[in-house]
């Protein structure tokens, strides 16, 4: 078995990174095995006097070595598979042109590899052009019966590979969706939380762009479950999520980080604006009843990112603010600044 790059040493928590690692492994294996298969041909073709083909195959091998080295040592993948695809198509068409059937055999793995390396649309376009070119060469080089066989068998290889690549792409999307969202509310779950907060911290450090987080927790939610049952509790959670999401911008992100606890990440939003928004959210939750006669309130801790923050320090400040809001009787927000030790606390309640 080939040694695998980026093999996760610990369990990865970010599903998008898992998908990226999966893609890198496909790329790595394709380049590795293609290198093993093609490198002897460089000498074979040279000895047969096919110098141009030998040079094209050498470039193919060189690209494979570079890709393998970059993935293994620097974890980067350059040019997104294009050199492999172009050189594989070029060498197999040219080889069929000069070597006949001996070159044709290489067209099949090349056509399949295109769908593993390129996104679906460019891969389809590439393979349509490839099959057309191979058909034209076969028409000139082989008897008519062979021309039809080659065209249909190569076309079929492309269709099978395309369907497989399309289904794998759809499966990846669905798995990422399942792994990153909470099934009850549709909010994001914790899996990408650290990465998203770290992105906002980098925006603060590099470009002075200030974001805020809000921790929002429904008050006495246990009473809802105890009195009306868990199914009603679930419906209340979904309705609360809807009310919050209706007020958010598209760039804002809402996580469900505990049973009845949510976190909002508000990019480009300073403390004052985040507090204003949170007050409106608390009013939205408190004013209209849920399920006819269920009254709910929520408490919140709000804090903007500070220079030098780590994501856990930032989140911790919001957590302390939420804790204060609960202690102050609930149905209120507390600013993260107010929760800093030594700072005077703000008045409770909605202002
Ligand atoms: N229906 C439902 N209940 C949940 C879910 N997840 C957690 N809970 C319940 O949420 C309740 C949370 O209770 P607590 O942590 O005591 O919080 P609380 O009653 O809201 O009290 P405060 O937060 O202090 O105001 C528990 O009864 C959990 O069983 C869920 O997905 N659905």
Give bridge partners of residue 290 from the DSSP assignment. 294
Mutating to test ligand 1, I would choose from 225, 226, 286 the residue with most ligand atoms within 8 A of its C-beta, which is 225
Neighbours of 24 (CB within 10 A): 19
The verdict on 245 and 214 lying in the same domain is: yes
Q: Is residue 346 in a domain? A: no
Contact 114, 123 (CB under 8 A): yes
pLDDT digits (tens, 9 = 90+) for 191-242: 889 999 999 999 999 999 999 999 999 999 999 999 999 999 999 999 999 9
Structure confidence at residue 3 (pLDDT): 44
Contacts of residue 246, defined as CB under 8 A and 6 or more positions apart, other chains included, come to 284
Q: For residues 333 and 349, what is the distance between their CA atoms, to the nearest angstrom?
A: 7
Half-sphere exposure of 176 (CA within 13 A, CB side): 15
The verdict on 198 and 306 lying in the same domain is: yes
The band of 157, judged by pLDDT with boundaries at 50, 70 and 90, is very high
Neighbours of 163 (CB within 10 A): 11
Question: If you take atom 32 of ligand 1, which residue's CA is the nearest one?
Answer: 234
Structure confidence at residue 23 (pLDDT): 84
The band of 89, judged by pLDDT with boundaries at 50, 70 and 90, is very high
Kindly state the DSSP code that residue 292 receives in the 8-state scheme: T
Question: If you take atom 8 of ligand 1, which residue's CA is the nearest one?
Answer: 259
Percentage of residues of the chain with pLDDT beyond 70: 92
Asked which of 14-23, 26-35, 322-331 is least confident by mean pLDDT, the reply is: 14-23
Choose, from 4, 239, 250, 260, the residue flagged as catalytic. 260
Check whether 189 has a pLDDT greater than 90.
yes
Residue 72: alpha-carbon gap to chain centroid? 21
The verdict on 156 and 237 lying in the same domain is: no
Contact 299, 219 (CB under 8 A): yes
What average pLDDT does this structure show over 26-39?
95
Percentage of residues of the chain with pLDDT beyond 90: 81
Check whether 170 has a pLDDT greater than 60.
yes
The band of 340, judged by pLDDT with boundaries at 50, 70 and 90, is low
The CB of 260 under 6 Å from ligand 1? The reply is: yes
Among candidate residues 149, 180, 211, the one where a domain is terminated = 180
* Ligand 1 midpoint to CA 163 (Å): 45
Active site residue 144: no
The verdict on 133 and 249 lying in the same domain is: no
The verdict on 166 and 202 lying in the same domain is: no
The verdict on 294 and 229 lying in the same domain is: yes
> How many structural domains are present in the chain?
2
What is the rounded average pLDDT for all residues in the chain? Answer: 90
Single out the residue of 336, 292, 332 nearest to residue 313, CA to CA: 336
Among candidate residues 150, 180, 210, the one where a domain is terminated = 180
Contact 2, 89 (CB under 8 A): no
The verdict on 335 and 195 lying in the same domain is: yes
The verdict on 135 and 258 lying in the same domain is: no
Give bridge partners of residue 261 from the DSSP assignment. 217
Check whether 87 has a pLDDT greater than 70.
yes
Q: For residues 53 and 45, what is the distance between their CA atoms, to the nearest angstrom?
A: 7
Structure confidence at residue 351 (pLDDT): 32
Helix (H) or strand (E) holding 332: none
Q: What is the pTM of this model?
A: 0.74
Q: For residues 227 and 237, what is the distance between their CA atoms, to the nearest angstrom?
A: 15
What average pLDDT does this structure show over 253-279?
96
The band of 337, judged by pLDDT with boundaries at 50, 70 and 90, is confident
The CB of 230 under 6 Å from ligand 1? The reply is: yes
* Ligand 1 midpoint to CA 178 (Å): 23
Single out the residue of 71, 159, 57, 63 nearest to residue 115, CA to CA: 159
Q: For residues 131 and 142, what is the distance between their CA atoms, to the nearest angstrom?
A: 15
Give bridge partners of residue 181 from the DSSP assignment. 188
The CB of 173 under 6 Å from ligand 1? The reply is: no
Give bridge partners of residue 299 from the DSSP assignment. 217
231 Cα nearest atom in ligand 1: 1
The CB of 326 under 6 Å from ligand 1? The reply is: yes
Check whether 330 has a pLDDT greater than 90.
yes
Q: For residues 206 and 162, what is the distance between their CA atoms, to the nearest angstrom?
A: 42
Say which CATH number the domain at 290 has.
3.30.70.270
Q: For residues 122 and 89, what is the distance between their CA atoms, to the nearest angstrom?
A: 14
The CB of 184 under 6 Å from ligand 1? The reply is: yes
Question: If you take atom 15 of ligand 1, which residue's CA is the nearest one?
Answer: 222
Length of the chain: 351
Check whether 336 has a pLDDT greater than 60.
yes
ipTM of this complex = 0.91
Check whether 298 has a pLDDT greater than 60.
yes
Kindly state the DSSP code that residue 190 receives in the 8-state scheme: G
249 to 28, 91, 289: CA distances (angstroms)? 40, 51, 24
Domain around 280: 190-339
Helix (H) or strand (E) holding 301: strand 298-304
Check whether 263 has a pLDDT greater than 50.
yes
């Amino acid at each position: 078995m080939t040694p695998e790059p980026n093999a996760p040493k610990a369990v990865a928590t970010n599903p998008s990174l898992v998908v990226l690692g999966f893609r890198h492994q496909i790329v790595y294996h394709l380049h590795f095995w293609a290198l093993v298969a093609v490198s002897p041909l460089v000498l074979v073709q040279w000895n047969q006097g096919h110098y141009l083909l030998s040079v094209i195959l050498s470039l193919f091998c060189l690209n494979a070595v570079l890709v393998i080295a970059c993935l293994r040592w620097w974890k980067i993948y350059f040019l997104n598979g294009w050199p492999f695809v172009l050189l594989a198509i070029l060498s197999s068409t040219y080889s069929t042109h000069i070597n006949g059937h001996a070159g044709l055999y290489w067209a099949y793995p090349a056509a399949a590899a295109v769908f593993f390396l390129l996104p679906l649309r460019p891969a389809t376009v590439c393979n349509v052009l490839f099959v057309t070119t191979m058909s034209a060469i076969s028409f000139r080089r082989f008897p008519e019966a062979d021309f039809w066989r080659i065209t249909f068998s190569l076309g079929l290889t492309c269709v099978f590979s395309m369907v497989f690549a399309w289904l794998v792409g759809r499966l990846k999307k669905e798995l990422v969706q399942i792994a990153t969202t909470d099934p009850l509310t549709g909010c994001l779950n914790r899996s990408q939380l650290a990465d998203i907060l770290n992105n906002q911290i980098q925006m603060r450090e590099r470009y002075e762009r200030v974001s805020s987080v809000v921790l929002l927790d429904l008050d006495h939610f246990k009473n809802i479950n105890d009195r009306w049952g868990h199914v009603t509790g679930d419906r209340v959670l979904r309705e609360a999520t809807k009310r919050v999401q209706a007020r958010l911008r598209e760039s804002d992100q809402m996580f469900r980080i505990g049973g009845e606890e949510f976190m909002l990440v508000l990019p480009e939003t300073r403390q004052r604006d985040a507090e204003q928004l949170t007050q409106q959210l608390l009013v939205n939750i408190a004013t209209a009843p849920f399920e006819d006669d269920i009254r709910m309130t929520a408490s919140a801790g709000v804090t903007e990112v500070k220079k030098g923050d780590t994501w856990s320090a930032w989140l911790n400040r919001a957590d302390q603010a939420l804790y204060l809001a609960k202690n102050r009787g609930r149905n209120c927000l507390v600013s993260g600044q107010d929760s800093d030790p030594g700072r005077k606390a703000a008045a409770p309640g909605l202002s």
